Amino acid sequence: MKKASIFFAAEAFLLSLCLACGPMEAAAQDCFTYELLPRRLVTSVFTADARAHRLPIAGNLDNNSIITGMGGSFPVSNISYRDVIAQFSGAGTIYSSLEHMPGHFRVATVDFFVDAYADVLVAPAFIIRGGFGHTSQHLADDASEIMGFTKSINYVRDYVQAFAIHSSATINGSLYAGAYYSYDFIIDTGNPATKYQKPWLIQCGGEGNYPLLEHITAFAAFDLKLRSELHYGTTQSFQIGIKVMRPDSDRALRFAYTYRAGLEDRGQFYDQRGIWNVVGVYFDW
């Protein structure tokens, strides 16, 4: 995570510059302005992304398994120069999948995600995102391997990312497109760990909203991922539901149905394909 440290060092430098310029702000319009711990994020969650940073609990209707997560995105600072705003934020989520067994549930996988973002509002409806991230994805229960149900692998990615995000009044929502480049990508299936030479993950998606009542909207969202390590095989997600949200907040409570098809999002089963019908509750914050 050396590059992530450089990212935070750059933020600290800019904050120091703002502190130095602060007393002169009224006289020098070209100086940076800053805000520590802003109340709102400048971007919204990628709604249909199965690995978005938030608090979900959802059930897979096909096999009675449960998907849970604990996490979110947290704004750290806003730095402004004239009409351009840059927001620095951090995000982290732990995702778990629980498989239904007779009389109980068993934790099958645990996946860790952490990201550092810089979101630059270059126009009122257009944001450029850059950042660094890390994920490691694990088999949680050794019993599955001991009993021969599956074999654990070492799945780790350190990556940089770049996205363009557009807020659209036409659909009362947003569209996004971008890519992750894994500068350190290991999938170790038992042989000596090999750094993958096809480290790209391309992603696009969007969300549209239709007001129903005050603070309540119906929404539809999609997300598409193309994975270069599997010849650009796809993971396709389509989600519809109801969203409850205060107008002065970026927090939202969603009740949604998701149809997902294609490659697994869980690293332990990265080369497996399937179709999933999922209903759940999602807290975006």
91 falls within a domain:
yes
This prediction's pTM: 0.85
DSSP string of 186-227? EEESSSSP-B-S--EEEEEEEEEEEEEETTEEEEEEEEEEEE
Residue 156 CA to chain centroid, in angstroms? 16
32: nearest Cα among 83, 91, 101:
83
CA dihedral defined by 10, 14, 15, 20, rounded to 10 degrees?
140
Mean pLDDT computed over 236-262: 93
Mean pLDDT computed over 10-34: 51
pLDDT for residue 220 is more than 80: yes
Q: Using an 8 Å Cβ cutoff, are 134 and 158 in contact? A: yes
Domains of the chain: total: 1
The 3 state secondary structure assigned to 133-195 is EEEEEEECCHHHHHCCCCCCCEEEEEEEEEEEEEEECCCCEEEEEEEEEEEEEEEECCCCCCE
Q: Using an 8 Å Cβ cutoff, are 42 and 85 in contact? A: yes
Spatial separation of the C-alpha atoms in residues 156 and 136, rounded to whole Å: 5
pLDDT at 250: 79
12 falls within a domain:
no
Q: Which two three-digit tokens encode residue 114?
A: 């952490």
Domain that holds residue 181: 38-284
25 falls within a domain:
no
Spatial separation of the C-alpha atoms in residues 173 and 264, rounded to whole Å: 27
137 falls within a domain:
yes
Q: Using an 8 Å Cβ cutoff, are 150 and 164 in contact? A: no
38 against 198, higher pLDDT = 38
What would the pLDDT profile of 37-53 be if each residue is shown by its tens digit?
A: 998 999 999 999 999 99
210 pLDDT tier (thresholds 50, 70, 90): very high
26 falls within a domain:
no
Give Cα separations from 234 to 92, 93, 215, 273 (angstroms). Answer: 24, 23, 34, 9
2 falls within a domain:
no
pLDDT at 82: 83
DSSP string of 89-125? EEEEEEEEEEEEETTEEEEEEEEEEEEEEEEEEEETT
Best-predicted range by mean pLDDT among 9-18, 75-84, 134-143? 75-84
15 falls within a domain:
no
230 falls within a domain:
yes
Q: What is the CATH number of the domain that holds 260?
A: 2.40.230.10
Mean pLDDT computed over 114-125: 96
Q: Using an 8 Å Cβ cutoff, are 237 and 268 in contact? A: no
